Structure 1
């Protein structure tokens, strides 16, 4: 049985949601999938009702239920022991104590989303690795207190991990990538946007050990160079989506290696190169070999021209190219000079 907060007819909006959901829990004891995303007035008492009456719950989405606390997780752990998916994104009252209570009772968790749970720190990850050995997907976006120590512990206890989001965990270094490489060979998705301390050395080791990588978000990993692309092109033939936006050391040569690789020829669907200032029209010529490419982002690639995009699209007419050509301001001249040219954002 599946229930969503959008299901009209199931919710009498004239009733307080707390009372309604308590009544719902009492009368729908076979519920397995419950979506309460955005129900901001829900409190811990709702979760206690679910714990008491809905022992068959497998999938629970509490995104942005900002009033719930660690007490909710304690209740869930006691009554919903079959839980496999839990989304607690932006529930910013949750701390390591709540995570410990949760994972002690819900050891079969396969997906745990903790985006924006800004109070979480390394101790929370140590609790997860102690109890959640079946974990496949973990999202820690904007959990800025997390450090390498927590990620290393997590990887050692969760070898089945396939998807990990570390975006916004700005203190992480190559030690985290090393732990992933040595412990999580099934990794398919890595999101590490704004992790500005990560380098080619870490991604080289990751690529050489995690051959199933399909999606990588490396936006603002400002230290990486073409070497990372070379290693991905050699060792990661399943790569389908790659974001390199604001990676300003990437050049046409890196794109050449990527486009000539098995993933470039067969799998690559999305490539984001916004603010890659060294990329030129030569890179677009290389990308003509990527016959499966569906979307290309080129905002503020100052050396890419309209003519270059047009030539590429003649070879790949199905690809969506998003580009921005900044206004051109002519040199200051006596008498005011000529008119300013403004070429606006275009989808080509």
Structure 2
């Protein structure tokens, strides 16, 4: 008996996106439920490196589909006049349109915009040819264009070096409801000398915007004219300075909710003081990689921006404990990034975010901080509701003992990143310490193999050889303990306790072996896994991993040089949702790997086989015939050496449409 449509939709609301997508392939009724309006409004149709020259193009497939999609993204594609039929039929339904690195001329773009009458979000990123002439939309800011952009709320023109005041004016004039403006990475000019040159005294800036430069002076006038609507501004990777930020913050009637200004080295305390005094409604602030941000700025932020929910001060290296202690004043903070701030210590954090138990903070990024394991344990005990945690490159903080606290307290984690935490071993991931005997007290006992008392012997080997011996002993002892699990022996806290994990990054954790993959990995919702440079894992561990983590879509195994063809064969057979597979530097892989990929990967989009010297470049190229595959990274072929003689025979010729997919390195 089939469930009613409404019941199916209700059930699907509890499924993750990847599960819902897989369920939609089961039958017609499930497909329809998975494409109900409540799901479709967040779905994006992505065309990446696609061509529209076939008799039945990809665009025609969506034209003839019974499902109507509202959001489209075109990345590295050519949009010509041949595609205008698609916009004639589908334009009224499109709410969000994104063009990235696209080859499109002014005439075609103008036609497309005039057909999309209900646009709410428009993104044009790094399409330099579109802006190069400066004539885009000239004479079209009235009539149909104004009707098309009447509902536009989000305008992003990031990364366009040829954007000018005149071009920006044509877009903004036609968008009366604009709420968000993104000019990140544009050549925004702040020097007053340029303003005087292009706008002499008495010039009406609104009637004669410059067709040569993009000036902050003009942008500020645009923002001031729409101050009551503007809620979000993005000026990342520009030369905005403290004076400009101060002037912007003092715009009458403007109440910003979000400001992104990362990688803006000219920003100073003067600008942040004005920002915090005038824009007290801010909920999101990103000032990462701003080298002039100091404790004074952070003090004003924590004092005045009491509604702040997201704060990013990554690599603001002048920030010390004096500023960090003020973080306890942000009572609504949900996401915090203080990574790469080298002067922050445990003492500052203890008086800041760890001053009391915090049940509101959900995302924390502290990678590359100078903490010891006691500092990390303090953070983990005070923040029990974390959904995302990044402790990468915390070399001294992440140990077998401290990650046990993660597995014990952070049971809601969905994202865990611990790249290059090379002190963590199988003992920590599995929760196993030394073998317990009767009479020992309950509790996890984490072994410190480096401190085991052994008889003094004359050492004739190197330190590296000693480490290899210790790793082998550690692996053997943990394996013995894991095998005793069936006897209900006491264990610590395993990684498998984090059942909500969707993203896991363990790259560079070179002490983990197949033992961890076998006994600590059991995640039904895990979609992204990074095991790059985990050089002790083999196909035996991969087989158990694939069996227990069937939802993986993005798998990184770069420089895992102990992997053989059997491992990749298990991956491509068992991971039916696999979209990205990175095998760079896995130099034991052969053509059998490519044959397995070609035979079993039905959804693969990205493949990296650089440095796999036992693979045939010709076979690697032929794998591009997979319909979903859009990018293959491979090592440039030849010349080959045969009997000591270089063979410079040219490789096989391939169709240009196929070679688009490859990047030779």
Give the equivalent residue in structure 2 for 1:333. Answer: none
Structure 2: distance between partners of 1:127 and 1:248: 42
Structure 1: distance between partners of 2:378 and 2:270: 25
Q: Is the 8 A contact 1:92 1:118 kept in 2?
A: yes
2:581 paired with 1:275: no
Q: TM-score, normalised by structure 1?
A: 0.78
Provide Cα deviations, 1:136-157, integer angstroms capped at 9, x if missing partner.
4444454444424665555455
Structure 1: distance between partners of 2:325 and 2:380: 10
Give the one of 223, 248, 251 matched to 2:511.
Answer: 223
Q: Which runs of 5+ in 2 are unaligned?
A: 1-152, 173-182, 196-213, 342-367, 431-492, 615-641, 652-661
Q: Is the 8 A contact 1:140 1:165 kept in 2?
A: no
Tell me the secondary structure at the aligned position of residue 193 of structure 1: coil
Structure 2: distance between partners of 1:131 and 1:178: 30
2:371 paired with 1:147: yes
Give the equivalent residue in structure 1 for 2:411. Answer: 185
Structure 1: distance between partners of 2:520 and 2:276: 40
Give the equivalent residue in structure 1 for 2:528. Answer: 241
Give the equivalent residue in structure 1 for 2:500. Answer: 212
Structure 2: distance between partners of 1:76 and 1:42: 13
Structure 2: distance between partners of 1:136 and 1:202: 28
2:644 paired with 1:338: yes
Evaluate the alpha carbon distance shift between residue 206 and residue 172 of structure 1 in structure 2; reply closer, same or farther with a 3 A threshold.
Answer: farther
Structure 2: distance between partners of 1:55 and 1:232: 52
Give the equivalent residue in structure 2 for 1:332. Answer: none
Tell me the secondary structure at the aligned position of residue 311 of structure 2: strand
Tell me the secondary structure at the aligned position of residue 194 of structure 1: coil
Bigger RCO (CA 8 Å, 6+ sep): 1
2:581 paired with 1:296: yes
Q: Is the 8 A contact 1:167 1:192 kept in 2?
A: yes
Q: TM-score, normalised by structure 2?
A: 0.44
Residues 194-209 of structure 1: matches in 2 within 5 Å?
A: 194-204=420-430, 205=493, 207-209=495-497
Q: Is the 8 A contact 1:126 1:153 kept in 2?
A: no
Aligned residues: 333
Aligned-residue RMSD, C-alpha: 3.6
Give the equivalent residue in structure 2 for 1:309. Answer: 594
Evaluate the alpha carbon distance shift between residue 34 and residue 282 of structure 1 in structure 2; reply closer, same or farther with a 3 A threshold.
Answer: same
Tell me the secondary structure at the aligned position of residue 583 of structure 2: strand
Q: Kindly state the Cα deviation for residue 2 of structure 1 after the two structures are TM-superposed.
A: 4.7
Q: Which runs of 5+ in 1 are unaligned?
A: 329-335
Q: Kindly state the Cα deviation for residue 241 of structure 1 after the two structures are TM-superposed.
A: 0.5
Give the equivalent residue in structure 1 for 2:285. Answer: 86
Structure 1: distance between partners of 2:223 and 2:581: 46
Q: Is the 8 A contact 1:298 1:322 kept in 2?
A: yes
Tell me the secondary structure at the aligned position of residue 260 of structure 1: helix
Q: Is the 8 A contact 2:576 2:602 kept in 1?
A: no
Bigger Rg, which one: 2
More divergent stretch after superposition (277-286 vs 45-54): 45-54
Q: Kindly state the Cα deviation for residue 306 of structure 1 after the two structures are TM-superposed.
A: 1.8
Q: Kindly state the Cα deviation for residue 103 of structure 1 after the two structures are TM-superposed.
A: 2.9
Evaluate the alpha carbon distance shift between residue 77 and residue 163 of structure 1 in structure 2; reply closer, same or farther with a 3 A threshold.
Answer: farther
